[in-house]
């Protein structure tokens, strides 16, 4: 990877082999989230079909004695409609089964399109629901059948490869002439001469098939365009995992390797580019974040695989995919942690920040949301420090740093975890600013509350500047060793000189805190097995993307 990113250079995407011939017809050409959405619409379509069928074909007959007498006089009146209703409900149930993949569900939907068409035609042309329902269903007339509406609507609701769509639509519309002809054979429909039969019951549906083809081509084409737009180099976006202040994080899969990954996207429209200068500054900031993360070798720093700029101007970088919780979610879900576990986690954070500070890099946004607790190989309760997006090089001239953190991008950090010098806008801050934020994180882990919480972000910042924190032991019923509490309050000192001076010093003081017990590997495994069982991540990713 080049050390400098040319802002004018865009990533050239590898061509999708399926796009060269234009012959790909599998629904796997669509992104997994669109397949899931299509499966959901298929379920809704099946339920709507069942409701509409009952209301139009059965309910009118059931409301009147004459209709009931005819309807129940013979199975040939009620059986076709009953089968149609049962089929629609069966499809709705099938699509709701989580163990079935979305492509399988959509293939079942194609069968439902055909069977549903025959059900509609039977109600319309075979007099299944007594004479009173004929007017509602249009029986006895030669206007365009409701089958046409069903076929066209289905191709909009459920994206289908165009060639498959035209074949299924062609089979579906045969329901109209075949059902009418069956009614003629049974003496229920008026015989038509060949010309009238063709122009009334065949040729209009040729047009319907053509419309279904073009509709499917547009809808399916939009889906495949979305997939192509989500391809970044050798990676394909699979599922959005979350959104942040400046972008999104997606689960991704390498085209050739089995290794899953996470991709952070920063869209140009959210960055507020005003001119070329702001674009250059933002590109430099993005490059700096990627290079800062890539330069770290601590196992507790998020590993970076790749970074670049897509040809639509989107910044992206590829990092390892983790299985766990950030510390924000951890405390929200499970409450404050015992002191032994808090010390265990803080020591790992110190390992990452210690390396960064030695290299002159200041994180400047240390907070629970940027600290991820995960399974890592065979280890559990393993911390990864994320998002060096606000990183500042301690040796960078102030003027350069000021420019680089401008361009409509807030670079101050998060108010609830911001040091007093950050709140005052002092660019001379050093690694001790991160240690103040670590004190805020420790406070959160021990008590489940923020050190300061003002009515507004500005009020919170003022509190960090001027107010003394309440001891953590006053905020929780859990026991907190006095030495640990004193160390947390030392990290929260307003004067940087009164704090631990380095991450290594903080780690040494944490290690010397006398604790009532020890957070052992066996305790950690027991906790993780109870609250976050291990999953086969490779299998999950493969299932997400379907056959490719």
pLDDT of residue 149: 87
* pLDDT tens track for 515-536: 988 999 999 999 999 988 765 4
Instruction: Verify that 347 and 317 share a domain, yes or no.
Output: no
Contact 117, 150 (CB under 8 A): yes
Instruction: Verify that 147 and 41 share a domain, yes or no.
Output: yes
Q: Residue 294: give its domain's CATH number.
A: 3.30.200.20
Contact 350, 495 (CB under 8 A): no
Q: Residue 355: helix, strand or coil by DSSP?
A: helix
Instruction: Verify that 307 and 358 share a domain, yes or no.
Output: no
Domain end position, chosen among 188, 211, 229: 229
Confidence grade of residue 380 (pLDDT, cut at 50, 70, 90): very high
Please, where are the H alpha helices in 54-202? 59-62, 65-71, 75-95, 102-125, 134-137, 146-157, 162-173, 175-185, 194-201
Mean pLDDT, range 450-460, rounded to an integer? 94
Torsion-angle region of residue 138: left (phi > 0), alpha (psi -120 to 50) or beta?
Answer: left
Which among 57-71, 392-406, 454-468 has the top mean pLDDT? 454-468
Instruction: Verify that 276 and 389 share a domain, yes or no.
Output: no
Domain end position, chosen among 229, 248, 267: 229
Contact 173, 151 (CB under 8 A): yes
Contact 525, 517 (CB under 8 A): no
Would you say the C-alpha torsion 156, 159, 162, 168 has a positive or negative sign?
A: negative
Instruction: Verify that 286 and 262 share a domain, yes or no.
Output: yes
The rounded percent of the chain whose pLDDT value lies above 70 is: 77
Mean pLDDT, range 398-411, rounded to an integer? 37
**Enzyme catalytic residues:** 365
Mean pLDDT, range 331-345, rounded to an integer? 96
Lowest-confidence range among 128-137, 189-198, 238-247, 532-541?
128-137
Instruction: Verify that 131 and 251 share a domain, yes or no.
Output: no
pLDDT of residue 101: 83
Instruction: Verify that 459 and 519 share a domain, yes or no.
Output: yes
Q: How many domains does the chain have?
A: 3
Instruction: Verify that 458 and 429 share a domain, yes or no.
Output: yes
Residue 536: Cβ within 10 Å count: 9
Instruction: Verify that 63 and 169 share a domain, yes or no.
Output: yes
Domain assignment present for residue 62? The answer is: yes
Domain end position, chosen among 169, 200, 229: 229
Residue 144: Cβ within 10 Å count: 15
pLDDT of residue 232: 60
Lowest-confidence range among 303-307, 414-418, 454-458?
303-307
Instruction: Verify that 68 and 148 share a domain, yes or no.
Output: yes
Tell me which residue of 288, 496, 325, 502 sits closest to 411, measured CA to CA. Answer: 288
Give the pairing type, strands 248-254 and 235-243: antiparallel
Residue span of the structural domain in which 145 resides: 32-229
Q: Is the pLDDT of residue 163 over 80?
A: yes
Domain assignment present for residue 16? The answer is: no
Instruction: Verify that 253 and 219 share a domain, yes or no.
Output: no
pLDDT of residue 339: 96
């Amino acid at each position: 990877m080049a050390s400098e990113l040319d802002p004018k250079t865009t990533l050239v995407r590898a061509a999708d082999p399926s796009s060269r011939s234009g012959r790909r017809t599998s629904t796997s050409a669509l992104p997994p989230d669109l397949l899931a959405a299509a499966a959901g619409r298929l379920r809704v379509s099946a339920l709507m079909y069942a409701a509409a069928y009952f209301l139009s074909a059965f309910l009118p007959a059931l409301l009147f004695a004459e209709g009931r007498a005819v309807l129940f006089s013979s199975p040939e009146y009620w059986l076709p409609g009953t089968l149609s209703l049962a089929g629609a409900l069966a499809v709705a149930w099938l699509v709701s089964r989580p163990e079935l993949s979305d492509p399988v569900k959509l293939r079942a939907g194609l069968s439902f399109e055909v069977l549903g068409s025959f059900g509609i035609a039977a109600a319309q042309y075979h007099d299944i629901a007594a004479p009173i329902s004929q007017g509602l269903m249009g029986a006895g007339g030669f206007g365009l059948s409701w089958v046409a509406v069903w076929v066209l609507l289905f191709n909009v609701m459920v994206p289908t490869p165009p060639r498959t769509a035209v074949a299924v639509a062609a089979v579906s519309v045969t329901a109209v002439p075949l059902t009418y002809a069956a009614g003629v054979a049974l003496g229920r429909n008026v015989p038509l001469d060949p010309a009238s039969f063709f122009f009334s019951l065949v040729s209009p549906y040729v047009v319907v098939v053509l419309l279904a083809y073009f509709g499917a081509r547009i809808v399916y084409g939009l889906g495949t365009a979305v997939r192509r737009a989500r391809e970044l180099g050798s990676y394909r976006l699979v599922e959005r995992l979350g959104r942040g202040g400046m972008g999104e994080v997606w689960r991704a899969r390498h085209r050739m390797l089995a290794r899953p990954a996470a991709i952070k996207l920063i869209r140009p429209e959210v960055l507020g580019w005003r001119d070329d200068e702001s674009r250059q500054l933002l590109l430099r900031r993005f490059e700096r974040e990627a290079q800062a993360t890539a330069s770290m070798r601590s196992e507790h720093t998020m590993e970076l695989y790749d970074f670049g700029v897509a040809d639509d101007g989107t910044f992206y970088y590829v990092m390892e995919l983790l299985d766990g919780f950030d510390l924000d979610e951890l405390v929200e879900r499970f409450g404050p942690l015992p002191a032994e576990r808090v010390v265990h986690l803080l020591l790992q954070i110190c390992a990452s920040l210690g390396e960064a500070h030695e290299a002159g890099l200041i994180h400047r946004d240390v907070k629970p949301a940027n600290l991820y607790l995960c399974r890592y190989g065979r280890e559990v309760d393993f911390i990864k420090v994320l998002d060096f997006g606000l990183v500042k090089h301690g040796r960078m001239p102030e003027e350069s740093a000021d420019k680089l953190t401008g361009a409509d991008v807030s670079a101050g950090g998060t108010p609830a975890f911001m040091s007093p010098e950050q709140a005052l806008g002092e660019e001379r801050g050093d690694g001790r600013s991160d240690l103040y934020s670590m004190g805020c994180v420790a406070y959160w882990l021990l008590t489940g509350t923020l050190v300061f919480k003002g009515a507004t972000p500005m009020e919170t910042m003022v509190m960090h500047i001027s107010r003394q924190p309440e001891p953590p032991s006053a905020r929780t019923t859990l026991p907190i060793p006095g030495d640990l509490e004193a160390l947390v309050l030392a990290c929260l000192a307003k004067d940087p000189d009164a704090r631990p001076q380095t991450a290594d010093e903080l780690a040494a003081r944490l290690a010397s805190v006398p604790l009532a017990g020890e957070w052992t590997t066996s305790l950690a495994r027991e906790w993780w097995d109870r609250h976050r069982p291990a999953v086969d991540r490779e299998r999950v990713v493969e299932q997400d993307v379907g056959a490719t």
